[in-house]
Structures are given as structure tokens and as C-alpha cells.
């Protein structure tokens, strides 16, 4: 299985005044504009049959919607396993339940970085990974979807995604 991880685009800063519930914090206009361009580039790397799964938190959901539009996909699945407070084990369990060849996960840091670290190095591995907002990474599991069983295929910051045509 190929797993493409996408960190949500640039969102407003945390504010208990504006967004007492952090799950409701939206993308900034700049984040939307920049990721719309990055999504066009990222869509060139996605197989047509890829399934798109997102955190239900607003900033991730809106990022996934931009990617779905660029990739001309109509369906985005929301999953609690991708929220900002979910565990790495939750993400592995989510993937094991899927049968698709390519799964795109849109979520948050530090969760995506922790999952990527565990997928590549095994449980307890803490690789220092800079996962920029609006960036993406791709790993491949050739057999079992378990910690330490993935191979990194690529990792691109949003600037590189925006440059893809």
C-alpha cells in the first residue's frame, strides 16, 4: 500500500478567543491560496483510484477539499483516527482496515511526523522530520502495515508541490 501524508495548509494561529475549540480553527486566506496551487502539483502524483481520508478538524478538512477538487475526486472520508489528538496506533489500525492501493491521509503535526517516524523506523523511533504546513510525504508498505515496514518514496515541501506541473 502506498500512503501519502499531507499536512494541513497554513491555518490561523491558536486563539482561545476566536476558536475556543481548536478543531474549528480554519485555514488563512493565504493558506488556502498557496495550498490550492500545491494541490494542483500534488494531484499529478496521485493515482486516480487513491482514496482521500482526512481529519474532521476544519483546517484539515478544508485542505482535503482543496486537494479533492484539484485531483477531480468527489469523495473525502473523515476519520477520527487523524485528529490532532489521535495516536500513531490509530493511524496504523485505520490503514490496516483499508484495501486500496493508495491512501491519502490529511492531518496534523506532530501526529503525521510521529506516524512517518514509526512507519520508517519502528515503534519508539523519533526521527526529526520537518513536515511543513501544506507539505506531503509518500511511504510504501510492501507487505504488512506495521511500524518499521515502510519505505520512504518521497517527501516534498509545499514550495516544491507548487512548482510541479
Residue 129: CATH number of its domain: 3.40.50.1240
Q: In the chain, how many domains are there?
A: 1
Q: Residue 103: pLDDT band by 50, 70, 90 thresholds?
A: very high
Joined grid coordinates for residue 41:
502539483
Q: Look up the domain containing 96 and give its range.
A: 2-163
Could you tell me which of 95, 96, 100, 104 has the C-alpha nearest to residue 46? 104
Q: What predicted TM-score, i.e. pTM, was given to this entire model?
A: 0.96
**Calculated CA dihedral for residues 96, 98, 3, 78, nearest 10 degrees:** -110
DSSP 11: B
The mean pLDDT of 32-57, rounded to a whole number, is 96
The mean pLDDT of 1-11, rounded to a whole number, is 98
The confidence score (pLDDT) of residue 143 equals: 87
Dihedrals phi, psi of 50, to nearest 5 degrees:
-60, 140
Amino acid at each position: 500500500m502506498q500512503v501519502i501524508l499531507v499536512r494541513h495548509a497554513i491555518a490561523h494561529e491558536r486563539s482561545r478567543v476566536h476558536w475556543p475549540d481548536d478543531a474549528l480553527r480554519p485555514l488563512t486566506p493565504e493558506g488556502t491560496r498557496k495550498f490550492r496551487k500545491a494541490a494542483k502539483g500534488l494531484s499529478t502524483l496521485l493515482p486516480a483510484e487513491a482514496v482521500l481520508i482526512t481529519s474532521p478538524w476544519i483546517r484539515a478538512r478544508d485542505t482535503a477539499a482543496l486537494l479533492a477538487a484539484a485531483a477531480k475526486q468527489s469523495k473525502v472520508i473523515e476519520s477520527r483516527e487523524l485528529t490532532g489528538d489521535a495516536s500513531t496506533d490509530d493511524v496504523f489500525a485505520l490503514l490496516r482496515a483499508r484495501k486500496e492501493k493508495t491512501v491519502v491521509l490529511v492531518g496534523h503535526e506532530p501526529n503525521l511526523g510521529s506516524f512517518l517516524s514509526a512507519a520508517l523506523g519502528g515503534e519508539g523511533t523519533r526521527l526529526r522530520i520537518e513536515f511543513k504546513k501544506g507539505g506531503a510525504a509518500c511511504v510504501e508498505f510492501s507487505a504488512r502495515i506495521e511500524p518499521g515496514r515502510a519505505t520512504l518514496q518521497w517527501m516534498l515541501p509545499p514550495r516544491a508541490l507548487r512548482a510541479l506541473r
